[in-house]
Every structure is written in structure tokens, then in C-alpha cells.
Structure 1
Amino acid sequence: MKIKSVLVTLAFLVSAFNLVIAQELKSPNGMLTMQFSLKNDGTPTYQLSYKDKAVIKSSTLGLELKDDKKSLLNDFVVSKTNTSTFDETWKPVWGEVNAIRNHYNELEVTLKQNETNRIVIIRFRLFNDGLGFRYEFPEQKKLVYFVIKEEKTQFAMTGDHTAFWIPGDYDTQEYDYTESKLSEIREKFDTAVTSNASQKQFSKTGVQTALMMKTNDGLYINLHEAALINYACMHLNLDDKNMIFESHLTPDAVGDKGYMQAPCNTPWRTIMVSDDARDILESKITLNLNEPCKIDDTSWIKPVKYIGVWWEMITGKSSWAYTDEIPAVQLGVTNFSKLKPNTTHAANNTKVKRYIDFASKHGFDAVLVEGWNEGWEDWFGQSKDYVFDFVTPYPDFDVQAIHKYAKSKGVKMIMHHETSGSVRNYERHMDKAYQFMKNNGYDAVKSGYVGNILPRGEHHYSQWIVNHYQYAIEKAADYQVMVNAHEAVRPTGICRTYPNLIGNEAARGTEFQAFGGSKPNHVTVLPFTRLIGGPMDYTPGIFEMNINKFSPNNDSHVNSTLANQLALYVTMYSPLQMAADLPEHYEQFMDAFQFIKDVAIDWDESTYLEAEPGYYITVARKQKGSNNWFVGNVNGNNTRTSNIKFDFLEKGKKYIATIYADAKDAHYKTNPQAYTIKTIKVTNKSKLSQVSVPGGGYAISIKEIE
């Protein structure tokens, strides 16, 4: 009996000791619990549960340093902890809602490494819908300059979850999503990799964030990062035997992952979790983990609905280049006025005025023009540093005259800056280019980074290039220029701090519908993945799905119904929305085009009515400063009946709802332009049962009856 008593006492003491070294943090509503502890060797770990159900098993934290005998991985002791609560409501410059609550409980753990006396702080913020944490390196004598060889943050899964993933790649996110079990990523990886202008995978089990998963027992989990500043973009590499993801940073040209100088910190690593998929879409964790707006006067930042001279080049109907007479261009040497223009150059005065007229007639804010400036004849694939100067137009594009004409029509112009991946050249010309924009009435720029990065050996998502993208945003703010960056690193909520970052591409957009097509359920995945970090310039609104009807050498097909294209203006949130098709195609379907003209691009409220990643999304949004509502539904691969309630409408009010829906015989492949339009009266007690076909959906415009 004495022996048993001693054992019980020892067990109690061990348990008590574990409680001392373990720190627990609960979300404000108590549904999420995070535990931090140190292993026996001083390795920091954390774990996360939701409603007492494990989400992340015990996972290690730390960083491996280059050329250092002692990395920041173990041998730590807890020198101090601090807990706090934060609760505020802030107003975004633009957004899905007019106010965002930022409510979390925080645990700050200060670690001291025994052998080196280095200090590392791990800061955890637990929201009602997920966890954010990061590493912080305070000013100290023992850790000043250091080089990261690899970040070793783990995310240990509790099972073989279903995941929606794209291959881990240092240079592109422009892949279709694959739905598979985690254990199947390795065998499906090669099929998931499709060609791109620049790409570099690192592992057969490497994937990108935001990574969306669903467990067998119905939990939705999303892994991502927030506030990617002065650091390399994080990918995830899966140990598929143990179902553990580990962070994998994008290297620079010499293989290093990050050059750090204390005081500094990493981006936040985020884990969203819920048993309702709609909570993932509604989460504002990514924005809340970014710093407040740093632009004092934001009055010049305005949502934009635009059209552009773009789709006809993407589809091969027209060209960016001015001439076919020469094989190569040298800026300042080549005299374009003496060269014969081809018959396909789209950015000419006559055509651009046609687009301006269309924009003015139908109430669009702006017109984008690509291919206006010298250099497009040999812009791609030549590893050429001085490709564009961003201020010299072709002979058939009169910048001043076009600006004057657009102004007379009440239309703004959007500048296009393609860098061809030559970021050094862009930085050399940036001040002059932005000033040129302001001198000619351009308030927004679409920048591009197609092809391999120069300096050679750098990647699109390495620390140095991430810093370039940030430099471009901040420099643009100095000139009061809004930025829509394409081929740049995926967004991580920085638009809160710099809301002049009004859009990004950073995913497989509509242009790939002209390069062979995208999966019909692609747009049911993107809001759960790419849009977690910020809005996307997806360029929706394609009405002519058979591209060879107007571009005979292109047999691609847009895998979407027309009704689905309308719904994208609501389901794919962005303050920058393009009507991407040709004006003549809209003129054939003016009744359906009315929805694009009517739909808002800035919102007071957003309510997700139905959601299942890869299968369907239905969302209702209230127009900012108005009682008008808009509803969008996008559907996946199979026919489905969507059932929604209009209880988001104001009680006691009556509304007219115009429903743009798939016709009974519609199908994204065989009959994409078959749609119906009907008008009904609704109140907050009304219900709707609506069929959506494969690759289809519906869009609803709801206006109050005065």
C-alpha cells in the first residue's frame, strides 16, 4: 500500500509540474483552446482544440539558423509569460462589411535559450474563429544579425483530411486546385503541376497556403499566414507518414531563406477552424493580424468597376506588340515611327476610344489598356533587364489625347506596367512612371511580373522580391496611386495597412480559361483559399465561352455558364471588378449585362448563406450606403438545388428581386449561354429554391420598393 501511495504522489507531482510549464489560452467564446509547453529538451510546442476536439496535435516551433552552431530550436526555458485581452472595432476603407471586430485573447511567451542567452518571444492570439502566432526577436546583444536556413513550424494533423491544394511553388500560384486526401498528395502531385511562364516546385508533398481542409468528422481547417513583411513566403511540406505539415520558406538566389536584424518578427501563422464552412469565409483573422492603415488621407482610394483592352489579346484575337517587322527592340534606339504597324495591335487610339465610349455609356469607372508602351515585341523569355521604360507610348497611342477624351466622357484610365520579371528595372523607373501617371490622370496601375525574376536566380516569393512588392505599394501611396499587382506574392491582409493595394491576381484567374480552361468548380474553392488573404482581380464577366468564334486559332472553352459569370461579382469579393469580355459580346446579351452594370463593389454587410469548399457558395451582400442587396451562387461539378432564405432583408420592407439563373438545359460545356431572368417580390420571410447546373449558378439583384 505504501508503494502504491508513493506512485500516486509521484504521478500527482509530475502532473503538477506539467501544469507549471504548460500555458493555456482560450478564445473569447471558450470554443478554442491552445496549449503551449516545452519538451524536456526545451523545444517549444503548441496544440489546438475546438469544442474539446483536437485540431492540431502537439507541434514543434522554432527556426534553424545558417552558419550558427546553435539554432533557435531547443534548449529554451520560459522566462516570462503575459496574457491579455483585446477588443476593438475598426472601419476598413473598403470591404465586405463596414466595420470589423478585432477580438482576441493573447499569450506572450518569452523564451531564453540556456547556452546562448538569446531571447525569443512567441506571441499567440486566439480569436473565436482561429489562432495566429508569430516569432518575435527583441533588441539584444546576443542576437542581432542572423540568417534563417529554415523555419521549422509544424502543423500536426489529427488524421488523413480531405484537402484542396495546389503544388508548392516558388514562382506561381496559377494552378487548378486538386481535391484529395493528404495521403494522396504525393501520387497526384505530378498531375497537379501544369505549365507556367515561371515555376519551381520543391517537394512532391509541398503545397501552398491558404490550404483548405475538411476532417472526416466535419471540421473545416485553413492554414495560412498574415502580414508577410520583410520575410519569405511560407509553403507547407507534408510528412505524409505522420500527417505533419512543416513550414518551408522560399529561398533566395543563394538558397538562404531570410536575412534578419533584431528587433524584428516573422509573419503570423494562422489556423482557422470551425464546424461550419461559412465561418471560414467570414473570418477576418488575416486582416486583424495586420497593422492599422498607415495612409493618413485615404479619400483618393476608391473601388473601381472597369473594362479593358485585354481579353482580346489574352485570347489571341489581337496583340500587345505594335509591329512584326523587327525581331528585337532596344529602347531609345528602335524608332517605331519608321516601322510598319501590324494589323493586330489593340492599344490604338480608335479602339481605346471605343472602349471609353462603352464604359461611359454603361456607367463603368475606368478603362484598362495593355500594350500601349514600347517594348512588347520581345518582352518575354529573353532574360532581358531593360524591357520597358513605362512612359514611352507606341505611335498609335496618344496618351494625352486619350486622357482628354476619357475625361470628357467621365471615365478614368488604368495604367499597365508589365515588368517581365525585371524588378530592378521597374524600381529604377518607378518614380518617373508614377509621376507620368499622375500627369496624365491615371489613378490606378495594374502591374505584372510574368516570367523568371531578374536579378537571375531570385524567385517571385523570396524575401528580396516580397520586399520589392511592398516597396511598390508604399511608393505608389506616395503618389496616391492604387495598385493591382499580378503574378506577385499571394496577399496576406496587407491591404488593411495599405488599402491602395486594391487588388491582386496571385492565383489562376480567368485568363487561364483562354489557355485551355479551368475546372468548373475552381471558383467554389478560391474564396476558401486565395481570397483568405485579400481580394482577387479575377476578371469575371465572360459571356462568349467558345473562344474560337472570335479567335479562330484558339480552341479553348470557358468552363462556366453565363449565370455563373454574373454570380462571381458577388461570390469573388473585390473592390476592383472587371467586365472582362469584349463590348460586342455584351451587346448581344444586354438583359444579362444589366446585372454587371447594377452590382455594387463596396459593401456594408455580407452574409454567407451556404458554403461547401469545392461544391457551392451562396452569399448575400448589402450595397454600401444603400438598401439594395445582391446575391450570388456558384456551383461545382454536379447539378444542385440551392435553398436560401431572405431573412437578411429588413423586416417590414418589400423588395423586387431580379433573378438571373441557369436555364433547365444549361451546362458549362454544352449550353453555357442558356439563362433565364425573372422578377419576383420578396420580403425577409421569403424563401427561394433554385437549381444550379454544373459550372453554373445564379445572381440576384434586390431593390427596395419605395
Structure 2
Amino acid sequence: MNPNYKKKALRFITAFLVLLSPLLVTSQTITSPDKNFSLQFELKENGRPYYSLTYKDKPVIKSSKLGIEVKDAPSFMDGFTISKSAQLTSDTSWEPVMGEEKTIRNHYNELEVTLAQSQNNNRIIKLRFRLFNDGLGFRYEFPKQADLNYFVIKEEHTEFNLAGNHKIFWIPGDYDTNEYAYTTSKIAEIPALQKKATIEINAQQPISKPSVQTPSMMKSDNGLYINIHEAALINYPAMQLEVDASSFKFKSHLVPDAVGNKGYMQTDTQTPWRTIVVSDKATDILASKLILNLNEPTKYKDVSWIKPVKYIGVWWEYFVAGKSTWAYGKENNVKLGQDFSKLTPNGKHGATNERVIHYIDFAAKNGFDAVLVEGWNVGWEDWIGNWKEEVFDFVTPYPDFDVAKLRDYAASKGVKIIMHHETSGSATNYERRLDRAFQFMKDNNYGAVKTGYVGQIIPRGEHHDGQWMVNHYINVAERAADYKIMVNSHEAVRPTGLHRTYPNWFAQESARGTEFEAMGGLNPDHTTILPFTRLMGGPMDFTPGIFQTDLTYYNTGGNQHVNTTLAKQLAYYVTMYSPLQMAADIPENYDRFPDAFQFIKDVAVDWDNTYVLEAEPGDYVTIARKAKGKNEWFVGSVTDENSRTANLKFDYLPKGKKYIATIYADGKDASWNGKQQSYVVSTMKVDSKTTLKQFMAPGGGFAISIKEVPAK
């Protein structure tokens, strides 16, 4: 055969294969930058997309289906061919407005796969995978195209086919609350434990099938730590996880709306990222910034007004068995617009001029930035349980709360007052009044607001974690930014890293917090789990700092106590990250323990660096942090119901310098259910070579403040 003919034929065949390659290629593989992770994407039977993930050659996610089921239209489930694929590497850094690190590296390898459905006029979707050194993020994308404008999601069918019967730290799947206590079990045990775990909450709708919420934290028998969550939850319902306990498989379950639909979509659009953080070290899970990195940078031009806040508040006294109340009057049937000065005072109203001035004075004396005041506004007499739409107007104070007087007094002391907007779940009422409420705040020098969504949601039939409410929370953050107001939301959907995009949405509750210590108590292991679950998505307004742990102190009956030691309450300021930190107890109780209170006054709330020293979910967490812009470090360590000795290194300190460490530790006889207020304060000199073994009592902890030795 003519050699030239051979060359021409070879070139033709090569070109033909290149043209056909999108139809022939059915799988793609990428690895993480450090090569520890490997992701495989492939099309299997009938063009159905699947993915799998390994870490250091250990299976994390076995071959798992992907797909979106659409209502009254062809679904994005199968019939696909790969029409195009592309890979890229990105390695950048960015600085958060506030955070655990001054600078965050964003380094990943990306695979973008374009899938076409020939039976639907080659309608396309894209699957985008980003593989980091700490795990995987992926999402569905729907480009604008001739045959795809609007569609309604019936269900998302993303699977997480786990490699074994892992130990899991979980709360039940629910459309309206994430304030459950955590259960620790094997995946296979979830169905049998679901009923017991689904304790009564004020507003809830548990999923009927065995299910868990995200962030879901697991540990495999072969030593892998696996965390499943989502990032950048925008214009989409939150993802729950249905549990197939026999095959150890999770499947996405989206929160529905009032008519049962899951999401209303218009192209160009995308889903949130589904995230899988993995390591063979528990400390790496807590150090991961994968979820933050998958969120978009903020578009705010000016962020100078967004600042960390340390605050106290007229709050805890409402929980300690009726010491005071949110409501002003005795009546239980009130309406907006009536003359509230004619109500019969109940004699226990907490938000009075006198009481608030006392808190302002305490804040000013001890260097706090702000005072939260709950119960200042009319409507609290019948605010809960009636599914009532117009409960609060967010601008009218009770007769014993003088807005102008307290505004001016706080300003004279260099203290801000934090506004409180409890909506009682009536988001429609709040949205109608939002601009007026924020203008009222701006006029009266309020720089931050605590929002609340206790109760069933209005619009009736919507859920706290559905698409409508997800968009509502974001709308509140965006509108607040127009008025330079920071937002701390309670009873909202759990966070997904959106504090990068909306940095004024700087804290959330969205979990079982300190208030439950006055309502039956938190399990001693609760706060050794939260950093691996709820806090993976963003800062939590946990409201620590309760010093009067025995609540019988208030002589109101019962034998309730806070299930921690006093020293553990101090440790929370380091282990439970938030740029908004509350000293939650009553001022009088801090006056009784001035040496312990010193740590709360000293501890930073914004950080340059974070070092996760020791951790095991459900057992213990030890974290050190460097204060933003200062040569000061703080350490916090907490344990579960077992006593423990932490092994500390100080090698994060600059070499060649000496420091004074003030240690706030459990007393030898301390215990979460015994002598909770037993603590000792000591000092020692430390440097980068120092090691320390520090005791923690059952349910206890310790905190350390580290400062440079002053130059002579």
C-alpha cells in the first residue's frame, strides 16, 4: 500500500475519532491537587450519570446515581451522552471580612461535563465537580437554551453510596427545625432510633422516611472521617438525606413547598454544591474551608461597617424559670394598633429602661460592644402558638422602654443596642415591614439585628427550610446591607457558607443552643459534635458563658442545671467559632466570678490563624487561635461526659519569644453533674517548645489566654 495513502487514512481516522469522541467517551477521572482524592464520573445503563470518590485508595463514595426529576416535563435522569468535557486547575487566595483565618487558599482541580439528551432535542445540563485536597464539591447547572426556560423540580436524586456501616452523628430529617439533640449510632441503626430521636420541638415536621439532616458527620471502621453537606444554598430548598440502612446509602430529599413542589427554576441557573469533606484525621475536617471556597465572593463594595461583636443581653433571665418575661401585659389577646399603655402590667417585664441601663453600664464597664434587648416591642402577650400573621410591627416599644432615651444613653457610654426582630414565623408580615423596621434601626443607631422564626411559617404551608424561606433569609440579609445592618438569624435554615457572599449575615443559631440548658439540658457530648456538624456551614450564635450553672439558685422550683462545668463555658469562646459572641449570663453572676470573667473580657472574636490541635467527634475538641492583628493567642478545649487529659503543644507561637499563659481549668472535683463551678486559675511561662498536659473533668474543659511577656 502507498505510504502516503496510509498517512492520509490515519489522519482521517484520527480526525473522525476526535469528532466522535464525545459520543464514545462515557467516563472521566480527575484527582485532587495532592493526588489523595480520585473522582470518577461515568454514564452507565441508559445513559444514567454516576460518580464515585476514593481517598488514598480507600472508597469513600461507591458508584452513586445523579439526576433531577422534573414535574410535568422530561426529567434530567437518563438518556444522556457526554457532548463535551473540560478540566482546569485553579489556585488562588482570598481574605474574608471576618473569620478563622486571615487568608484562605482556594486550590482545586475541576471537571465540567456537558450532558445532552438526544430524545429531548439535545437538551443539555452540566455537572461541575471540584476536587480539593480536603474533599469534593459538585453541582448541577442548567444553561439557558431554546428548549429549557422554566421547570419545576419534583425531586433531586443525588446518591451518596457509602462504603460501610459508618458511625454517624445525626439529627432526624425535618422540614422546620434543626434544634434536635444528636444521636450517635451506626447507619444501620438509624431507622430503629428515629422515633426516639424525634423529640418534640415548637415547630417541626419530621420526614416520614428514615432520614438525617446535613451536615452529616461519619467515621468509618477503617479510620476515615466523612462529612456530607451543601454549599451556597440560594434559590433552592435545603437538602435532607433519606437513609437506606441496609445498603448504607443516602439519597437527597429536598424540602417541599405548600403544594408539594421542591423548586421553581428558570435558566440560566444551578443547584447548590453537594459537599463531601474527607480525611483520615478528625482535625482536618474542622480545618476545612471547602464549603466557604464554594461560595461566591461578596459583591459589597464597602464592608468597613461589618465588624465582630461581643455582647451581653436581656435574654438569659427570660429562661431561668420566669425571672422576667418578654411580655409587658397580663393579657393573652392583643392586636397591633391598640393602646398598649392600657395593658395590665405583669410586673416581670424584662426590657425596662432601668434594666437596660443596668446592662449598658455593665457593658461599658467591661469593654463589651453591644447589648441585646429582647421583649422591647409590643405584641409578646400572644406571640406564639396561634399561627397569627400580624404579631409584631418592629417599631413600637412597650410603655416602659424609651427608645430615644436608651439610644442616647448607650451612645454616651460607647455601646450599641442590638435590635431584636422576632417574626413568630410570619415572614410575610416581616417582609411587608422590613424597610420601615430597618429605617427605624438606622434612625436609632442600631447596627445589628437578631431575627427569629419561632413557630409555623406564614405563608401557611411553607417550611423554614424550603425554597421560599431560603430566599426570604437572603432577602433580609441583602436589604439589611442597604441600611448597613448586620444580621444574626435564629430558627433559620442551617448555614452553607453564605457568610462569604453576604458577610453582614454574620451569625446564625440553627441548632440546639444554650437556651436548651434551661429546658432539660444539653448532653455533655453535644458541643464536641457541633463543630463537626452545624459549624461546618458557618458561625453559630451559641450564646455561651453561663456561670450560674445550678438553676435552683433562682428559687423557682425544680432541679435543673446546666450540663457543663464553668471552665467549659469559657472554652466555648474558642471552640465554637463566631464573630458574634455573647456573654449570656446575667451581669450579677459575672460579678461573683471576676477572675473567670476576665477570660470572656479578654478573648478575641476575630482571628488571623486557627490551629486545630486535637479532635474526635463526640469526644473532645481542642483549638488554638491567634487574635486578629494582635500577638495574643487563645486556646479552648472541651470533652464529653468523660474526664480527659489534653496533650498540648505551643509550636504555633513565634520562636524565640516568651509568653504568659493564663489557664482557666476545671477543679479536681469538678463535674458536669456535680461541682460545676469548681475551677482554678493559674499562670505559667510558655514558648514554642512548651508542652502541657491539662486535665478536663467529666463534661468539662479549659481555656487559656496567651500574651507576650512585656519587654523590660
User: What is the identity, as a one-letter code, of the residue corresponding to 1:369?
Assistant: V
Q: In structure 1, what is the Cα distance between the partners aligned to 2:159 and 2:70?
A: 17
Give secondary structure in 2 for the equivalent of 1:494. coil
Q: Which string of whole-angstrom CA distances, capped at 9 and with x for unpartnered residues, describes residues 342-396 of structure 1?
A: 2100000000000000000000000000000000000001111010000000000
Q: In structure 1, what is the Cα distance between the partners aligned to 2:464 and 2:255?
A: 9
CA contact 2:164–2:248 (8 Å) conserved in 1: yes
1:376-415 correspondence to structure 2 within 5 Å: 376-415=380-419
Q: Which string of whole-angstrom CA distances, capped at 9 and with x for unpartnered residues, describes residues 386-409 of structure 1?
A: 100000000000011001000111
How far 1:244 moved relative to its partner?
0.9
How far 1:40 moved relative to its partner?
2.6
CA contact 2:98–2:308 (8 Å) conserved in 1: yes
1:457-606 correspondence to structure 2 within 5 Å: 457-550=461-554, 552-553=556-557, 555-606=559-610
User: What is the identity, as a one-letter code, of the residue corresponding to 2:307?
Assistant: K
Instruction: In structure 2, list runs of 5 or more residues that go unmatched.
Output: 1-20
Q: What residue in structure 1 maps to residue 267 of structure 2?
A: 262
Q: In structure 2, what is the Cα distance between the partners aligned to 1:464 and 1:17?
A: 39
Q: Are 2:679 and 1:675 equivalent residues in the alignment?
A: yes
Q: Which string of whole-angstrom CA distances, capped at 9 and with x for unpartnered residues, describes residues 402-437 of structure 1?
A: 010001111011000000000000000000000000
Q: What residue in structure 2 maps to residue 331 of structure 1?
A: 336
User: What is the identity, as a one-letter code, of the residue corresponding to 2:685?
Assistant: K
How far 1:195 moved relative to its partner?
1.3
Q: In structure 1, what is the Cα distance between the partners aligned to 2:520 and 2:45?
A: 54
Equivalent of residue 230 in structure 2, options 219, 225, 231:
225
Q: In structure 1, what is the Cα distance between the partners aligned to 2:63 and 2:417?
A: 53
How far 1:556 moved relative to its partner?
2.4
CA contact 1:131–1:270 (8 Å) conserved in 2: yes
Give secondary structure in 2 for the equivalent of 1:442. coil
Q: Which string of whole-angstrom CA distances, capped at 9 and with x for unpartnered residues, describes residues 645-682 of structure 1?
A: 11111100000000000111100111110001100000
Q: Which string of whole-angstrom CA distances, capped at 9 and with x for unpartnered residues, describes residues 425-461 of structure 1?
A: 0000000000000000000000000000011111100
Q: What residue in structure 2 maps to residue 200 of structure 1?
A: 205
User: What is the identity, as a one-letter code, of the residue corresponding to 1:439?
Assistant: D
Q: Are 2:411 and 1:438 equivalent residues in the alignment?
A: no
Q: Are 2:143 and 1:138 equivalent residues in the alignment?
A: yes
CA contact 2:23–2:83 (8 Å) conserved in 1: no
Q: In structure 2, what is the Cα distance between the partners aligned to 1:40 and 1:379?
A: 55
How far 1:551 moved relative to its partner?
5.5
How far 1:194 moved relative to its partner?
1.3
Q: In structure 1, what is the Cα distance between the partners aligned to 2:23 and 2:191?
A: 38
Q: What residue in structure 2 maps to residue 321 of structure 1?
A: 327
Q: How many residues are matched?
A: 688
Q: In structure 2, what is the Cα distance between the partners aligned to 1:141 and 1:152?
A: 25
How far 1:18 moved relative to its partner?
12
Q: What residue in structure 2 maps to residue 118 of structure 1?
A: 123
How far 1:22 moved relative to its partner?
1.3
Instruction: In structure 1, list runs of 5 or more residues that go unmatched.
Output: 1-15
Q: In structure 2, what is the Cα distance between the partners aligned to 1:638 and 1:534?
A: 28
Q: What residue in structure 2 maps to residue 662 of structure 1?
A: 666
CA contact 1:189–1:204 (8 Å) conserved in 2: no
CA contact 1:125–1:133 (8 Å) conserved in 2: yes
Q: In structure 1, what is the Cα distance between the partners aligned to 2:32 and 2:286?
A: 19
User: What is the identity, as a one-letter code, of the residue corresponding to 1:385?
Assistant: E
Q: In structure 2, what is the Cα distance between the partners aligned to 1:566 and 1:281?
A: 20
Q: In structure 2, what is the Cα distance between the partners aligned to 1:628 and 1:554?
A: 42
Q: TM-score, normalised by structure 1?
A: 0.96
Equivalent of residue 103 in structure 1, options 107, 118, 127:
107
CA contact 1:540–1:569 (8 Å) conserved in 2: yes
Q: Are 2:283 and 1:278 equivalent residues in the alignment?
A: yes
How far 1:338 moved relative to its partner?
2.2
Q: In structure 2, what is the Cα distance between the partners aligned to 1:376 and 1:166?
A: 30
Q: 1:551 to 1:107 in 2, by over 3 A?
A: farther
1:50-129 correspondence to structure 2 within 5 Å: 50-68=55-73, 70-116=74-120, 117-129=122-134
Q: 1:701 to 1:530 in 2, by over 3 A?
A: same
CA contact 2:23–2:81 (8 Å) conserved in 1: no
How far 1:144 moved relative to its partner?
1.1
Q: In structure 2, what is the Cα distance between the partners aligned to 1:228 and 1:617?
A: 28
Q: In structure 2, what is the Cα distance between the partners aligned to 1:274 and 1:114?
A: 40
Q: In structure 1, what is the Cα distance between the partners aligned to 2:94 and 2:613?
A: 24
Q: Which string of whole-angstrom CA distances, capped at 9 and with x for unpartnered residues, describes residues 463-493 of structure 1?
A: 0111101100000001000000000000000
Equivalent of residue 147 in structure 1, options 152, 158, 174:
152
Q: What residue in structure 2 maps to residue 29 of structure 1?
A: 34
Q: 1:311 to 1:554 in 2, by over 3 A?
A: farther
Runs of 4+ aligned residues of structure 1 deviating over 3 Å after TM superposition are 16-20
Q: In structure 2, what is the Cα distance between the partners aligned to 1:278 and 1:694?
A: 22
User: What is the identity, as a one-letter code, of the residue corresponding to 2:154?
Assistant: K
Q: Are 2:702 and 1:698 equivalent residues in the alignment?
A: yes
Q: What residue in structure 2 maps to residue 9 of structure 1?
A: none
CA contact 1:185–1:204 (8 Å) conserved in 2: no
Q: What residue in structure 2 maps to residue 10 of structure 1?
A: none
Q: In structure 1, what is the Cα distance between the partners aligned to 2:690 and 2:361?
A: 40
How far 1:55 moved relative to its partner?
0.5
Q: In structure 2, what is the Cα distance between the partners aligned to 1:252 and 1:581?
A: 39
Q: In structure 1, what is the Cα distance between the partners aligned to 2:478 and 2:56?
A: 42
Q: What residue in structure 1 maps to residue 292 of structure 2?
A: 287
Q: 1:628 to 1:414 in 2, by over 3 A?
A: same
Q: What residue in structure 2 maps to residue 13 of structure 1?
A: none
CA contact 1:197–1:451 (8 Å) conserved in 2: yes
User: What is the identity, as a one-letter code, of the residue corresponding to 1:187?
Assistant: A
User: What is the identity, as a one-letter code, of the residue corresponding to 2:222?
Assistant: D
Q: TM-score, normalised by structure 2?
A: 0.96
Give secondary structure in 1 for the equivalent of 2:277. strand
1:364-379 correspondence to structure 2 within 5 Å: 364-379=368-383
Give secondary structure in 2 for the equivalent of 1:495. coil
The answer to which of 634-643 and 269-278 deviates more is 634-643
Q: In structure 1, what is the Cα distance between the partners aligned to 2:24 and 2:539?
A: 43
Q: What residue in structure 2 maps to residue 161 of structure 1?
A: 166
Q: In structure 2, what is the Cα distance between the partners aligned to 1:65 and 1:555?
A: 54
Q: In structure 2, what is the Cα distance between the partners aligned to 1:35 and 1:678?
A: 54
Q: In structure 1, what is the Cα distance between the partners aligned to 2:266 and 2:277?
A: 30
Q: Which string of whole-angstrom CA distances, capped at 9 and with x for unpartnered residues, describes residues 597-639 of structure 1?
A: 0000000010000000000000000001111000000101211
Q: Which string of whole-angstrom CA distances, capped at 9 and with x for unpartnered residues, describes residues 533-574 of structure 1?
A: 000000000001111211514542210000000000000000
CA contact 1:208–1:235 (8 Å) conserved in 2: yes
